[in-house]
């Protein structure tokens, strides 16, 4: 028997169907609400609104659960690779050995950029932010690779081309910003190893590949590969619902990710730590400022919009952070400040009571800095990791027969009808 919720408006009852997800989540189906009642719902930020039915990622903020296609993030971080996880997200199942090998080969085959694309890079202003460049360049990919027309075709070829080329584009952007020659990928390197190679190798000082750093990058990208209907993923779905090409939808996702409240949070963490250092603020002082409701200061890297307990990704990233710092033995005062702040916050009763634990952005910012990734590139790193999730979400939305073009309603609070006043009477 179907379950219903009863809504009472002006003495009249309306029965609204209840949708139950496979993990027991319940949603009240309001698709006919305005048609039957003349009312809409009001939900700023859409924190209580389900925009779609999805089979990609499950998360429970109260219990600290995150799973990709049913597989716990802890297992993927420990046993999988980013390429295998990307395959899982885009296809819905883990690849066999032959499929994984073929995927890795295709990623290498697609890793070179069309030489004409370098002219784009050279004409951006020298101070242009890498995220703005990446968003524009992904959109430009449509001009070079327009093949994806029908979702019944071999779409994985297009998806893998995007994942491969965006990695190369990020590395090229960094090299050009330094005035260095572009480094080409090597066919004998894995996806993550090739990124580090393209970023840091040069003819004067060849880059020595460290497997522990490759592993850290694998884990970083796995943890960021998808996260349900967040701001950037929702942007990809909303733009994609207009049936635009996938490059335009992904470009929108990159732009949405740019903000400091979303993908730019790990960059904001480092900038906050730098501010502490420059102004001689101790962790105790910073925590006091964060507790003061009259102080506009915002403690970055702590707490999460959805997780009301410890972010499961943060636990994994903290372990990887400890390994990387121990391995590299870096003497960086900023990282010392970060560790002191972490300890102070974890032992503060206010933070404990409010469940304001360090989140994945706090630890990922530290790891990326330790690996030598420039702060401006942090959000680009996030975008590379999130590509498989965006692609999977775009595809799911495009194939859903029940999806319509996104078109939110509003509650109008402006002027009522009034006459136009001619210029000479104003």
Say what the pLDDT of residue 309 is.
81
Say what the pLDDT of residue 147 is.
64
Bridge partner list, 27? 19
State the CATH class of domain 4-60. Answer: mainly beta
Query: Smallest Cα–Cα separation from 187: which of 179, 178, 197, 177?
Result: 197
Say what the pLDDT of residue 1 is.
47
Q: Which CATH architecture has domain 81-259+375-399?
A: Orthogonal Bundle (1.10)
Per residue of the chain (426 residues), give pLDDT as tens. 479 999 999 999 999 999 999 999 999 999 999 999 999 999 999 989 999 999 999 999 889 999 999 999 999 999 999 999 999 999 999 999 999 999 999 999 999 988 888 888 888 887 888 899 999 999 999 888 876 555 554 568 889 999 999 999 999 888 888 888 889 899 999 999 999 999 999 988 899 999 999 999 999 999 999 999 999 999 999 999 999 999 999 999 999 999 888 888 888 888 899 899 888 889 888 888 888 889 888 888 888 878 878 889 999 998 999 899 889 888 788 888 888 888 888 888 888 888 788 889 889 988 999 999 999 999 999 999 999 999 999 999 999 998 899 999 999 999 999 999 999 999
Q: Where are the domains of the chain?
A: 4-60, 81-259+375-399, 265-371
Say what the pLDDT of residue 145 is.
80
CA dist 102 and 84 (Å) reads 11
Instruction: Please determine whether the domains at 4-60 and 265-371 fall in the same fold group of CATH.
Output: no
Say what the pLDDT of residue 149 is.
53
DSSP-based three-state secondary structure for 220 = helix
DSSP-based three-state secondary structure for 26 = strand
361 is catalytic: yes
CA dist 21 and 154 (Å) reads 30
What does the buried/exposed string (b/e) look like for 187-209 if buried means 16 or more CB atoms within 10 Å of the residue's CB?
A: eebbbbbbbbbbbbbeeeeeeeb
Pick the catalytic residue: 201, 226, 311, 361? Answer: 361
| DSSP H/E element including 130 | helix 130-144
Pick the catalytic residue: 226, 227, 304, 348? Answer: 304
Q: Which CATH architecture has domain 265-371?
A: Orthogonal Bundle (1.10)
């Amino acid at each position: 028997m179907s379950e219903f919720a009863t809504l009472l408006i002006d003495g009249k009852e309306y029965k609204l169907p209840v949708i139950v997800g496979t993990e027991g989540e319940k949603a009240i189906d309001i698709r006919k609400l305005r048609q039957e009642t003349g009312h809409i719902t009001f939900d700023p930020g859409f924190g209580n609104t389900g925009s779609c039915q999805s089979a990609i990622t499950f998360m429970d903020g109260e219990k600290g659960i995150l799973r990709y296609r049913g597989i716990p993030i802890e297992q993927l971080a420990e046993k999988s690779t980013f390429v295998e996880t990307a395959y899982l997200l885009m296809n819905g199942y883990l690849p066999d050995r032959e499929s994984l090998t073929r995927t890795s080969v295709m990623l290498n085959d697609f890793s070179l950029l069309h030489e004409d694309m370098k002219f784009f890079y050279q004409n951006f202003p020298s101070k242009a932010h890498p995220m703005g460049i990446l968003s524009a360049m992904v959109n430009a990919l449509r001009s070079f690779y327009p093949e994806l027309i029908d979702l019944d075709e071999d779409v994985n070829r297009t998806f893998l081309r995007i994942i491969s080329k965006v990695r190369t584009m990020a590395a090229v952007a960094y090299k050009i910003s330094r005035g260095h020659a572009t480094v080409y990928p090597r066919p004998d390197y894995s996806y993550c190893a090739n990124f580090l190679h393209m970023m840091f190798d040069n003819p004067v000082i060849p880059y020595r590949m460290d497997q522990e750093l490759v592993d850290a990058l694998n884990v970083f990208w796995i943890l960021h590969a998808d996260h349900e209907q967040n701001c950037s993923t929702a942007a990809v779905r909303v733009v994609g619902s207009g049936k635009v090409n996938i490059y335009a939808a992904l470009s929108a996702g990159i732009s949405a990710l740019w903000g400091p409240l979303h993908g730019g949070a790990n960059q904001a963490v480092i900038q906050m730590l730098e501010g502490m250092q420059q102004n001689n603020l101790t962790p105790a002082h910073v925590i006091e400022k964060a507790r003061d409701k009259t102080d506009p200061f915002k403690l970055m890297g702590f707490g999460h919009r959805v997780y009301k307990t410890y972010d499961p990704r943060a636990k994994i990233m903290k372990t990887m952070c400890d390994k990387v710092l121990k391995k590299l033995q870096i003497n960086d005062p900023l990282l010392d400040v970060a560790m002191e702040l972490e300890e102070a916050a974890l032992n503060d009763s206010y933070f404990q009571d409010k469940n304001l634990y360090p989140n994945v952005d706090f630890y990922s910012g530290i790891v990326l800095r330790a690996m030598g990734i420039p702060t401006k590139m942090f959000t680009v790193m996030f975008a590379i990791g999130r590509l498989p999730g965006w692609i999977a979400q775009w595809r799911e939305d495009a194939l859903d027969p029940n999806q319509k073009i996104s078109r939110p309603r509003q509650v109008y609070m402006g002027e009522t009808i009034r006459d136009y006043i001619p210029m000479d009477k104003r």
